[in-house]
Structures are given as C-alpha cells and as structure tokens.
Amino acid sequence: MNCVIRAAEPRDVKTIHSLIYELAVFEKAPHEMVNTPDKLLEHGFGAHPFFICFVAEVDNEIVGMSLNYIRYSTWKGPVLYLEDLIVTESQRGKGYGKALFEHTLNYAKQNAFARLQWQVLDWNTPAIDFYKGFGAGFDAEWLNAWVELHKEINS
C-alpha cells in the first residue's frame, strides 16, 4: 500500500472540506453542513485549534482523513474523540481507512488518552463491521443530545 498518513496542514483545508461534504451526502444530510474551508482553517490551524486532523495521502493526493478532538471524561480522564473517519468513495476497500484508524489509535495511546471514542450511525453496517474488527464496544444505552446555538445558511 503506497499510503502516507500525516498530520493535516493548512494547505489541506479545501480537500478536508470536500471530504466532509462527501460524508454529509453519504449520510443524506448535506443541507445540515454549514462549515466552510475558512472556518476549518481558523478552527484547526489558528491560535487555539479545536481539532487534530490526520490525512491519508496516495501519490500526493489526499484520499481520506481522521478528524479528532479532545474531550474530558470525569470518570476516565482525557479522551480522544474521533469525530469523522472518511475515505473518499473511489478509494474505499484499499486499507486507507484502516491505516488512518490505526494511526489515530496509536496517537491516542502515545499521548496517554484513556480511550478513543466515536459514534457510528446504526444503519452504517460497513462501518460497524469495520470497527468490530478492532474489537470496538458499542453502547445502546446512551442517547445523543444537543442544543443548537445558531444556524447558518451555507452560501
């Protein structure tokens, strides 16, 4: 496999945004995506980054990404939260998602996180099976909850 996993850089933001949009389409919710490349640049590479991102590159082309952020569990301590693991559709099944996930998992271990945590949609059986291959646990007890603070129009 000719794949390099590396930390994302500001020059990658447009491709990262495209991958996020591709995921939104896959999840049948592109209308909910309001993030922009400019916001990703500020939020990921500004003075106070909100996320950590790794990209998978094949022949100098980004084919996937792992976007993460730090949470704190009062019971466990620091947790690395995997927000999205995305491989562009044409490149799936080639091991790039596995390489990204393993890199993210190793990053969490090397930085003494108590766990790596994420969510997966209950209908996304390929992703569920993928994560089961890593020995992942699944929790059916907890419900997702949120308060929408503002809604922007994607122009």
Active site residues: 131
How far apart are alpha carbons 98 and 85 in whole angstroms? 10
Q: Locate 77 and state its tokens.
A: 């301590």
Residues sharing a CB contact under 8 Å with residue 107, sequence separation 6 or more, in sequence order = 52, 54, 68, 80
Q: Measure the CA–CA gap between 51 and 53, rounded to whole angstroms.
A: 6
